[in-house]
A and B are shown apart, each in its own frame.
Chain A
Amino acid sequence: MNAPTHPLHHITREESATYDRATLDYIYRAAATGLYEIRGLGAKRHLPHFDDLTFLGASLSRYPLEGYREKCATRTVLGTRFAEKPLELAIPVTIAGMSFGALSANVKESLGRAATAMGTSTTTGDGGMTSEERRSSKTLIYQCLPSRYGFKPDDVRRADAIEIVIGQGAKPGGGGMLLGQKINPRVAAMRTLPEGVDQRSASRHPDWTGPDDLMIKIKEMREITDWQKPIFVKIGATRVFNDVKLAVHAGADVVVVDGMQGGTAATQLAFIEHVGIPTLAAIRQAVDALDDLDMRGKVQLIVSGGIRTGADAAKALALGADAVSIGQGMLMALGCNHPTYRMGDHDVSAVADYHALGTAPGFCHHCHTGRCPVGVTTQDPVLEQRLTPDIGARRVKNYLKTIVMELTMIARACGKSDVHHLEREDLVALTVEAAAMARMPLAGTNWIPGAGV
């Protein structure tokens, strides 16, 4: 007798929300390699973010500025508290710390040139300062990280500001990471590491722990630089209210708060997705901390972690930031995740190279491999050529210009002649989570979830 067949024979596909495709991949990979997944970029899962806020533009009760003759100022000064030479920037958008090693020398030069053209700053990363970056970037912030790779007094003296990094949004509590394939001779020499080995990085600074010691460390940096240069303190967003207060007590001129959407060239997936809080929640806490200490305007706040557009920048400023810093967005402006790269006067497809990494344009986060198909996060001399400084500098400059144009456009629409006059009452929230995190009313209501708690 024949076995009965189902009258509607088809493949059933009932996906589990808990054991979804991504989780299956995770478990297969762990079973195969015995190693956590390491990748680049920032948190990819959906999180409450600036998209969940919207501006209350001018109408009858508030009047807009004209876009042409009526100016909207963007000048931004960072580091007014103690330094003799604060940074004077033309725009409130800076380029975040990213290491040479994670990025190619061409990229560092591109970023420097674009920043200079737009009157803003770049920041070194975990690995030290390259002469390309110092030469090309008019205002260069020098990071002091737990690893102290390439951290040298001559570079401290030729920097325009020092940024003491306690952590970053992608991995608060974790240290830097660079896999062996990106430790080429030049990177190895700068970091005093053997070529080709995986870099293990410290998560704590070697010579201080805690805000009471940080205060003495900040003083040391001031003494070394004869009190000329602003000292920034950068934290990954976790206990932001307390941390910002402590950073101020310890003597920071500028506090940089990096939310969980912030990127990295390489770290464990578990860090990226499961440690740290969203930028939207962080920025409110940071501003509250400054208000609590009556330090708004005296200690400047820079916010980073998923800042992508002029609208994001405007929202961050409205919420109380003095400036925003962009990392991943800059890489994307350079071509990260783009299907093609430029060679001479034509576009070349990079799709095959994405596929060789096991990914595709728009999905790639494989910065840690050093095989960046568009020549951005690589040390490979061949791949590096896919992004030359002339092209890179123009793209980043255009991106910055666009952001600033959008920022001023929104500010004018809210009646502001200066982007720093944007205030939190210019915004409302579109979701309950965003309303609660940013402590701002849900659009069309007076309701702030959790207010008074």
Chain B
Amino acid sequence: MCGIVGLLLKRPALRPALGELMLPMFIGMTERGPDSGGLAVYGDRAASGERRFSLYAGESAVDWDAVAADVRTRFGQSTIEINGNHAIVEVNAAPEAMAQWIAEAHPDIALLSAGRTMDLYKDIGAPGEIAERYGFGRLRGTHVVGHTRMATESAVTPAHAHPFTFGDDFCLVHNGSLSNPNNVRRELEHQGVSFVTDNDTEAACRYLGHRLNEGDDLETAVTRGFSVLDGFYTLLIGTRDTLAIVRDPFACKPAIVAETDDYVAISSEYRSLAALPGVESARLFEPRPRQLYQWRVQ
């Protein structure tokens, strides 16, 4: 199954070191999730009016410069940051428009995320390799949601790695196994929500994301989720300005929180938090079941 990690920096002065602080946490979850991993990082990123789109080419050989040119043609002024099989395009475009265009014009590229403050990376491989590939240790920002994966029901492909995203700046990672993801997915498809995979986490992500779209706040959406999402889950959620965690009523999948004046750090296991500065005097606790815990960026 998986390891989850989350980190929110309360103190602005620490934000340039987000990646440095998070990296040992991510690597610390390698045993729980040896075969793929991913990370969503939040912070002031896009110039006003613009959106950032995280793109992923997997094993395909992609000419990113050509892609950048196509984006300019289609959507206007844009920038691109390239990193191997991953790129971030910043442009003024709506998420649905970009999604549709990518699917038609560049079907071998996956659109991982859309948002104003969130970038997203996911790939196959050991967490250490992935972190190295994308320079996780150098990331800056306010908060991060990460995941390492041991594949369960769906294939080990990058699309099935977490985090899953929805709309703008919403992402979710999951440790556990939902027992009714197919019905949840079908119901959402009837309501016009499209899916990329048959992964149970995507079902949870799109369910909550859809509820937020419909006007629920996160607490309401999660509460509704208790009667809709069946099975075992610890969910770690990121939004533009929030890091949140919730566990199902059985709380079989682990989670531990370390909180100081400087940060809130969350992981599946304490050993991945052990290297954080000040953790010896942190408030350590395990989230109770059936309760949403949220922390907001100041």
CB of A246 within 8 A of CB of B152, answer yes
Specify the chain B residue showing the minimal Cβ separation from A249: B150
Task: Give the complex CA separation of A249 and B230 in angstroms.
Answer: 25
CB of B31 within 8 A of CB of A215, answer yes
Specify the chain B residue showing the minimal Cβ separation from A216: B31
Contact with A along B215-258 (1 / 0, CB 8 A): 00000000000000000100000000000000000001110000
* Chain A residues whose CB sits within 8 angstroms of the CB of B62 once the complex forms: none
Task: Give the complex CA separation of A239 and B179 in angstroms.
Answer: 13
Task: Give the complex CA separation of A279 and B176 in angstroms.
Answer: 28
Interface residues of B in 1-45 (CB under 8 A from A): 1-3, 31-35
Task: Give the complex CA separation of A215 and B35 in angstroms.
Answer: 14
| A194 close to chain B: CB less than 8 A | no
CB of B232 within 8 A of CB of A209, answer yes
Contact with B along A278-313 (1 / 0, CB 8 A): 000000000000000000000000000000000000
* Chain B residues whose CB sits within 8 angstroms of the CB of A210 once the complex forms: 1, 176-177, 232, 252-253
| B99 close to chain A: CB less than 8 A | no
| B117 close to chain A: CB less than 8 A | no
* Chain B residues whose CB sits within 8 angstroms of the CB of A191 once the complex forms: none
Task: Give the complex CA separation of A212 and B32 in angstroms.
Answer: 5
* Chain B residues whose CB sits within 8 angstroms of the CB of A204 once the complex forms: 252
A51 → chain B, closest Cβ, in Å? Answer: 32
Main secondary structure of the interface of B (DSSP, over half): loop
CB of B34 within 8 A of CB of A242, answer no
| B151 close to chain A: CB less than 8 A | yes
Q: Give the residue of A213, A245, A249 whose beta carbon is less than 8 angstroms from that of B34.
A: A249
A318 → chain B, closest Cβ, in Å? Answer: 28
B38 → chain A, closest Cβ, in Å? Answer: 16
* Chain B residues whose CB sits within 8 angstroms of the CB of A212 once the complex forms: 1-3, 32-33, 150, 175, 268
Task: Give the complex CA separation of A213 and B32 in angstroms.
Answer: 8
| B63 close to chain A: CB less than 8 A | no
* Chain B residues whose CB sits within 8 angstroms of the CB of A215 once the complex forms: 31-32
B243 → chain A, closest Cβ, in Å? Answer: 22
Interface residues of B in 163-206 (CB under 8 A from A): 175-177
A48 → chain B, closest Cβ, in Å? Answer: 24
Give the size of the chain B interface in residues (CB under 8 angstroms): 20
| A180 close to chain B: CB less than 8 A | no
Task: Give the complex CA separation of A242 and B199 in angstroms.
Answer: 13
* Chain A residues whose CB sits within 8 angstroms of the CB of B153 once the complex forms: 239, 242
Specify the chain A residue showing the minimal Cβ separation from B29: A212
Interface residues of A in 14-72 (CB under 8 A from B): none
Interface residues of A in 208-230 (CB under 8 A from B): 209-213, 215
Task: Give the complex CA separation of A215 and B268 in angstroms.
Answer: 14
* Chain A residues whose CB sits within 8 angstroms of the CB of B35 once the complex forms: 249
* Chain A residues whose CB sits within 8 angstroms of the CB of B254 once the complex forms: 213
Task: Give the complex CA separation of A235 and B204 in angstroms.
Answer: 27
Task: Give the complex CA separation of A274 and B131 in angstroms.
Answer: 46
Task: Give the complex CA separation of A212 and B2 in angstroms.
Answer: 6
B298 → chain A, closest Cβ, in Å? Answer: 34
* Chain B residues whose CB sits within 8 angstroms of the CB of A245 once the complex forms: 151
CB of A242 within 8 A of CB of B31, answer no
CB of B152 within 8 A of CB of A242, answer yes
A218 → chain B, closest Cβ, in Å? Answer: 12
Task: Give the complex CA separation of A209 and B231 in angstroms.
Answer: 12
* Chain B residues whose CB sits within 8 angstroms of the CB of A213 once the complex forms: 1, 254
Specify the chain B residue showing the minimal Cβ separation from A243: B152
Interface residues of A in 243-257 (CB under 8 A from B): 245-246, 249
Q: Closest 3 A-B residue pairs measured CB to CB?
A: A209-B252, A212-B1, A212-B32
Binding site for A on B (CB under 8 A): 1-3, 31-35, 150-153, 175-177, 232, 252-254, 268
Provide 22 A-B residue pairs closer than 8 Å at the C-beta atoms, listed in order of the A residue: A209-B232, A209-B252, A210-B177, A210-B232, A210-B252, A210-B253, A211-B150, A212-B2, A212-B3, A212-B32, A212-B33, A212-B150, A213-B1, A213-B254, A215-B32, A239-B153, A242-B153, A246-B150, A246-B151, A246-B152, A249-B34, A249-B35
Since A210-B232, A211-B1, A249-B150 are in contact, a sample of 11 more A-B pairs with Cβ atoms closer than 8 Å, ordered by chain A residue number, is: A209-B253, A210-B177, A211-B152, A212-B3, A212-B33, A213-B254, A239-B153, A245-B151, A246-B1, A246-B150, A246-B151
